Chains A and B, each alone.
Chain A
Amino acid sequence: MSAVEKLTIGCVAPPGGSLANKTGAWRSMRPVFKHAACIGCRACELVCPEGCVFQDPTKKHLCEKLKREVANFDFDPDYCKGCGMCAAECPVDDIDMIMEEK
């Protein structure tokens, strides 16, 4: 609804409302992508229910296991609700969940 300033009859809204609705404010835990053991399997990106985990080809780390460079994964703090599914599913335990403290 926040895509439009005024409410409409029936609270009808055009597409794009979810983009304007920054669900990151709901977060009590935040993921920390350690960029150490990550093998680039994309499990974190695929399981994210908000679709806010992404791979950044411009930033890379040397994978300890594969002994080669892998593009970094990270999350969009505007939308990440801190559910921890990425950390739970990471096969190489390269994502930690920490308390969100401001």
Chain B
Amino acid sequence: MGKQEILEGAMAVAHTVARCRPEVVAAYPITPQTHISEELSQIVADGELDAEFVKVESEFGAASVVLGASAAGARAYTATSSQGLMLMAEVLWNMAGMRLPVVLGCANRSVSAPLSIWCDHQDAESIRDCGIIQLYAEDSQEACDMHVIAFKVAEDRRVLLPVMVNLDGFILTHVFEPTELPDQALTDAFLGKYEALVKLDPANPASFGCFTEPDKCMEGRWMIHDACLRSLGVIEEVSRNFAKAFGRASGGILEEYKSRDAETILVCKGSVSGTIKDVVDELREKGQKVGLVRLKVYRPFPRAQVVAALKGAKHIAVIERGGSFGAGGIITPDLKDGLYDAGLRIPVSGFCVQLGGRELAPDGVREIIERVSGGEQVAYEYFRLKKEILPDLVPSAK
């Protein structure tokens, strides 16, 4: 165990990223991400990190700069939230298709409208299909460690894809926790220097992500899918090596918390697991067989691992921090898809609990466990929706 410091989550992430020695950082301020890029800018200005910090006019600019930097062979980093991520979306699809190992920190925040600066996962979930690998942290320590793992996975020749580290806005970015920053010498040895497969070079010109006719485009897209699937094994391997090198377990595909013999299992991603674990502990003491499975990787979706972790359950409830309007949950259908193909018809309930900073307290977790353990199954429910503040949903003409 190394030295722990009491650090704000965003600061801890910024100093971890600096120790990964990116050569180019470009970011645009947006709440609640700002402290990450602000601190990185300070670190570069103080001469503590030999990197170019590019000031940009927008998140579209930030994403474009790190895309170009990565194509030129540099290790590149950016961070954003919410609307900023929306503005980056077009570039992220290109980054994945061009197979550029950029690392992106996302301080998860609700997407407008209605305007909210608080946490949910709809920003990251709305770009889930673009080929970017998505990791979700539970606490500050994991958010830091996942950044080191992210660079290693992204730059692995078996992967070569952008990786996004998600940390819950405010809940993790603005909270002070004891955190152990990765040791500089260990980080240098763990990551090594990034050597690009091909890079932009005036002496040897090339175009990235070229035009493809219909006879080739589909194969170009399939290669992203293939690399994304292959990354699961690489994430497991890199996480094992991280534990060996740094002396603490971090990363991996999912966390199984008292779920092996559980009859009722809750599934979540991100920091809400802290509250759920407390309730699991409390109910376990009373003899209830409940457990939690927390996804650390959401894209690629770890189907086999999820099915293996859930196959013994009698009831499953998914705590969603997002959703697809007009359809339902985000994790819920992915999970049902895996269970269905495995021939398992375990009832799965999806609860949309935490949009726009709405918190889930222990009594809410208890209620959900009680309802699904009692045999109730809901396809997708906005949990504890305050109907009393809703207007006439279909206003009459006057």
Interface of A toward B, CB cutoff 8 Å: 1-2, 7-15, 17, 21
B206 touches A14 (CB 8 A): yes
- Among the listed A7, A10, A11, which residue makes an inter-chain contact with B197, where contact means beta carbons less than 8 Å apart? A10
B208 at the interface (CB under 8 A from A): yes
Q: Given A1-B212, A17-B207: A12 and B219 within 8 A (CB)?
A: no
A-B contact pairs, 25 of them (CB 8 A): A1-B212, A1-B213, A1-B216, A2-B213, A7-B216, A7-B220, A7-B223, A9-B160, A9-B197, A9-B198, A9-B223, A10-B100, A10-B198, A11-B97, A11-B208, A11-B209, A11-B210, A11-B212, A11-B220, A12-B206, A12-B209, A13-B206, A13-B207, A13-B210, A14-B205
Residues of B within 8 A of A21 (CB): 211, 213
Q: Given A1-B212, A17-B207, A17-B210: A12 and B198 within 8 A (CB)?
A: yes
B223 touches A12 (CB 8 A): no
Known: A9-B160, A11-B97, A12-B98. 11 other contacts (CB 8 A): A1-B211, A2-B213, A7-B212, A7-B216, A10-B98, A10-B197, A10-B198, A12-B206, A13-B206, A15-B205, A17-B207
Interface of B toward A, CB cutoff 8 Å: 97-100, 160, 197-198, 205-213, 216, 219-220, 223
Interface pairs A-B: 7 shortest CB-CB:
A10-B99, A13-B210, A10-B98, A1-B210, A1-B212, A11-B210, A11-B220
CB distance from B213 to the nearest CB of A (A): 7
B207 touches A12 (CB 8 A): yes
Residues of A within 8 A of B211 (CB): 1, 17, 21
- A15 to B216 Cα, complex, angstroms: 18
CB distance from B70 to the nearest CB of A (A): 10
Most A CB contacts (10 A, CB to CB) among B207, B213, B220 go to: B207
Residues of B within 8 A of A12 (CB): 98, 198, 206-210
Residues of B within 8 A of A13 (CB): 206-207, 210
CB distance from A22 to the nearest CB of B (A): 10
CB distance from A6 to the nearest CB of B (A): 9
B219 touches A7 (CB 8 A): yes
CB distance from B109 to the nearest CB of A (A): 31
Q: Does more than half of chain B's interface fall in helix, strand or loop, or is it mixed?
A: loop
CB distance from A21 to the nearest CB of B (A): 7
Residues of B within 8 A of A17 (CB): 207, 210-211
Residues of B within 8 A of A15 (CB): 205-207
In the complex, residue of chain A having the shortest beta-carbon distance to the beta carbon of B204: A14
- A2 to B216 Cα, complex, angstroms: 9
Residues of B within 8 A of A8 (CB): 198
- A46 to B193 Cα, complex, angstroms: 48
- A17 to B206 Cα, complex, angstroms: 10
- A15 to B200 Cα, complex, angstroms: 12
Residues of B within 8 A of A14 (CB): 205-206
CB distance from A97 to the nearest CB of B (A): 25
In the complex, residue of chain A having the shortest beta-carbon distance to the beta carbon of B96: A10
- A9 to B223 Cα, complex, angstroms: 8
- A21 to B97 Cα, complex, angstroms: 20
In the complex, residue of chain A having the shortest beta-carbon distance to the beta carbon of B200: A12
Residues of B within 8 A of A11 (CB): 97-98, 208-210, 212, 220
CB distance from A47 to the nearest CB of B (A): 23
In the complex, residue of chain B having the shortest beta-carbon distance to the beta carbon of A14: B206
A10 touches B212 (CB 8 A): no
B99 touches A9 (CB 8 A): yes
In the complex, residue of chain B having the shortest beta-carbon distance to the beta carbon of A9: B99
CB distance from B93 to the nearest CB of A (A): 13
CB distance from A24 to the nearest CB of B (A): 13
B207 touches A10 (CB 8 A): no
CB distance from B87 to the nearest CB of A (A): 23
Most B CB contacts (10 A, CB to CB) among A8, A11, A13, A15 go to: A11
Residues of A within 8 A of B216 (CB): 1-2, 7
In the complex, residue of chain B having the shortest beta-carbon distance to the beta carbon of A4: B210
- A15 to B203 Cα, complex, angstroms: 12
Residues of B within 8 A of A7 (CB): 212, 216, 219-220, 223
Residues of A within 8 A of B100 (CB): 10
Residues of B within 8 A of A9 (CB): 99, 160, 197-198, 223
